[in-house]
Amino acid sequence: MAAASSTSEGETSAWPRVRCCGKSYSYYCPVCYKSLAPPGVAIPDVTLPLSVAVMLKDGRQRSTAMHAPVLAPRDVRVYEHPDYAGLPESFDAENCVVAFPSDDAVPWTALDGLARVRTLILIDSPWQQAQKALALPQLAGLRRVKIDKPPAQVQFWRVAAHDSAGHLSTIEALALLLKEHAAATGSNFDSDPLLFFFSLMRSRILEYHDRKEERREREGLAPGRTPFDPERRDRFRRRFIQKERTAAPGKLKYGKPLAAATGEEEEEAQAEPDPT
């Protein structure tokens, strides 16, 4: 797991792109969940305390939820919108819960029969678009859990256009939920390795930013803002919403992908939240 810090001296978080399942990807293949690590780089092999079912709405290539089946292949299943093929006909309401921050959701510590929970269902879509998945007969009657202590600091580079509150990527939400689950059940499960690719991609965004800053300095320009700067994120969000209104007046699409990261072939980690 030491490979998580493969951004140490002289190294870069960029991995060469490798072809898999008909396209080329860095880091891992979001179709067959194979790691595409360069030779000599070991990726974590995680055993989760719960089975995880991912209800995938966003594209595979953009979704950080796809890190989970790569890092914990034995415990994660992905079911894809719109037909969610392979989804079990029903889940047992006793031992399956849905992660979703609705009013009736509770943290693990307030969940009755916590020890019996075996499966966690994750909805990988902007929260505003999750209602369709939540209404599936398999999910409708299940209890909901939520993160007890969301982090104060945003780590995710992508800006959610319609979510001005703190924004967590799906893999961060999963890691945090499993961390809180471990605390609530007294287990010593370590969820940090689930953030292996997330940390790598984040490093890459920051390296990209640093290179841009060096360029600005050479050109005598004032320092720019980091991709995590709240003001910069707000500015980007406003501009994005404005663009959306112009494109389809009166018809706002919640959680639409970033303008900067909608290219099919574009690699997520390279996409800057703000293209300027």
Closest separation between CB of residue 24 and Zn ion, Å? Answer: 10
Listed ranges 20-28, 89-97, 100-108, 132-140: which one lies at the site for Zn ion (CB under 5 A):
20-28
Rounded to the nearest whole angstrom, what is the least distance from the CB of residue 235 to Zn ion in the complex? 37
Beta carbons of 268 and 204 less than 8 angstroms apart: no
DSSP code for 19: E
Q: Which two tokens stand for residue 237?
A: 């969000």
Interactions with Zn ion, residue window 58-117 (CB under 5 A): none
Q: What are residue 247's phi and psi, to 5 degrees?
A: -70, -40
Q: Report in angstroms the alpha-carbon separations of 188 from 75, 178, 192.
A: 17, 11, 12
Does 29 interact with Zn ion (rule: CB under 5 A)? Answer: yes
Closest CA to 196 of 54, 10, 66: 66
Rounded-to-integer distance, Cα 171 and Cα 195, Å: 7
Q: How far is the CB of 33 from Zn ion (least distance, A)?
A: 7
Min dist CB 22 to Zn ion, Å, is 8
Tell me whether residue 20 or residue 241 sits nearer to Zn ion (CB atom): 20
Among 3, 7, 18, 20, binds Zn ion (CB under 5 A): 20
Distance, CA of 192 to CA of 179 (rounded, Å): 8
| 32 contacts Zn ion (rule: CB under 5 A) | yes
- Judged by CB under 5 A, the stretch of 23-31, 90-98, 205-213, 221-229 that binds Zn ion is 23-31
* Residue choice 31, 114, 134, 259 for contact with Zn ion (CB under 5 A): 31
Q: Per CB under 5 A, does 21 bind Zn ion?
A: yes
Rounded to the nearest 10°, the torsion over CA 36, 39, 41, 42 is 80
- The residues binding Zn ion (CB under 5 A) are 20-21, 29, 31-32
